[in-house]
Amino acid sequence: MTPAQPLRVGMVGYAFMGAAHSHAWRTAPRFFDLPLQPRLTAVAGRNADAARAAADKLGWDSVETDWRRLIERDDIDLIDICTPGDTHAEIAIAALKAGKHVLCEKPLANSVEEAERMTLAAETAAKQGVMSMCGFSYRRTPALALAKRFVEQGRLGEIRHVRAQYLQDWLSDANAPMTWRLDKSKSGSGSLGDIGAHSIDAAQWVTGQSITGVSALLETFVPERPLAGDLVGLGGHGDLSGDAPRGKVTVDDAAIFSAKFDGGAGAGAIGVFEATRYALGRKNAMRLELNGTKGSLAFDFEDMNVLSFYDAAESPDAGFRKIFVTEPEHPYVGNWWPTGHGLGYEHGFTHQVVDLVTAIGEGRQPEPSFADALQVQRVLAAVEASAANSSQWQKV
Ligand code: SOE
């Protein structure tokens, strides 16, 4: 067999998402047959010593202190963007113009205007075979991929209700420090864009329906937090003293909204969404429940190897059935452990690399495309506009 051609990756950023992506780039070719062989060629970060240390720890061959150098290099085929949202548009557009494929973390951008420019650049580049994808990694959780398969098989019938929650609690402590995720100029929005965007993408993807309008409420519970310098990671457990200088939180802490979906021919589900980092005791409860005319299904990332399914054709007292999504016939699972052993958070990122590299190798547009992520961005903007206008109904 001829060895696969290399796909030489240059990654920008190396914190939490950078670590998850590094693991995925390394692991994907070890468990899946890929048409191209990923190489961890270079990582970029502004602080040379920290970037060198991250490269050594995460397994990258070289270091750059300016992302522009990655784009100039002839030995890089793909740029992986793992930085805060304020940098996405500039890096992605420059990379696509230079003929590099792009993987960009979610949410795609900090505004619809940026996301539109990125989508235009992506569509232009795709005509030359240069591909791009947005990292809504939960699509690659086997139980959620199985949920989509059930919907496509018609096992739920017509979908009437969508119930989507993303509940975390890492900001509950009012003395947890400021980080870039709480600064609108860097992150675009708070819980809404950081975790609500995942719910919006998953709900639209699993149902196959787009959100057409919303009515929303946003809340910031803790308006100021202790400043902690260049803190990396979530920073939720920083125990800074009450006297530390404080900075202004400029994003939402929690978002709730109702939504209408377009199911074609006037039909379409109605949905309720909730995203918060203040749900004490809920750690990463990314939940999706659908009720259709023939059945219902429910998923909770805190029990991520399970999909609950209710089939109305069975005896009414049969109740929800727990499907352990750990079997070879389930999406992605067959490439891992023998029956029944289960997967974790990191596997979603690995499957994301598998799907991206496979699509690039086959010359296909990977999903979610920048255009798909632009639709999510439009929903985020509509939620903010509605909340700013006393929850008035806002078309997407
Ligand atoms: C923090 O809220 C966060 O790490 C998000 O940024 C990720 O996208 C999500 O996967 C887990 O939570």
Ligand 1 centroid – CA 51 distance (Å): 22
Q: State the pLDDT at residue 135.
A: 98
Nearest residue (CA) to ligand 1, atom 6? 194
* 195 touches ligand 1 (CB under 6 Å): yes
CATH superfamily of 5-137: NAD(P)-binding Rossmann-like Domain (3.40.50.720)
CA distance 44 to 357: 21
Identify the bridge partners of residue 293 per DSSP, sorted by sequence position: none
Sketch the domain layout of the chain as residue ranges.
5-137, 142-341+369-395
Is residue 194 in contact with ligand 1, taking CB distance under 6 Å?
Answer: yes
Share above pLDDT 70 across residues of the chain, in percent, rounded to a whole number: 96
Rounded distance, CA 359 to CA 295, Å? 33
Q: Is 180 helix (H, G, I), strand (E, B) or coil?
A: helix
Question: Element (H or E) spanning 162, and its range?
Answer: strand 159-167
Average pLDDT, the chain: 95
pLDDT tens column, 22-42: 999 999 999 999 999 999 999
pLDDT tens-digit map of 143-164: 999 999 999 999 999 999 999 9
Q: Say if ligand 1 is within 6 A of residue 93 CB.
A: no
Distance of alpha carbon 380 from alpha carbon 369, whole angstroms: 17
Give me the amino acid identity at 394. Q
Q: Does residue 77 have its Cβ closer than 6 Å to ligand 1? A: no
The label of the residue with tokens 């750690």 reads 283
Site to probe by mutation for ligand 1, drawn from 23, 139, 195 as the one with most ligand atoms within 8 Å of Cβ, is 195
Task: Give the CATH superfamily of 142-341+369-395.
Answer: Dihydrodipicolinate Reductase; domain 2 (3.30.360.10)
Tokens of 125: 């580049």
Alpha-carbon distance of 11 to 189, in angstroms, equals 24
pLDDT range class, residue 227, cuts 50, 70, 90: confident
Q: Which atom of ligand 1 sits closest to the CA of residue 16?
A: 4
DSSP state of 248: E
For residues 150 and 361, give the distance between their C-alpha atoms in angstroms, rounded to a whole number.
28
Burial (Cβ within 10 Å: 0-12, 13-18, ≥19) of residue 47: exposed
H/E stretch holding 42 reads strand 36-44
- Predicted local confidence at residue 238, as pLDDT: 57
Query: Which residue reads 């990314």 in tokens?
Result: 286
pLDDT tens-digit readout, 104-144: 999 999 999 999 999 999 999 999 999 999 999 999 999 99
What is the pLDDT, as a whole number, of residue 146? 98
Residue type, position 61, single letter: D
pLDDT in tens, 163-181: 999 999 999 999 889 899 9
Per-residue pLDDT, 229: 65
Tens of pLDDT along 243-296? 778 999 999 999 999 999 998 776 899 999 999 999 999 999 999 999 999 999
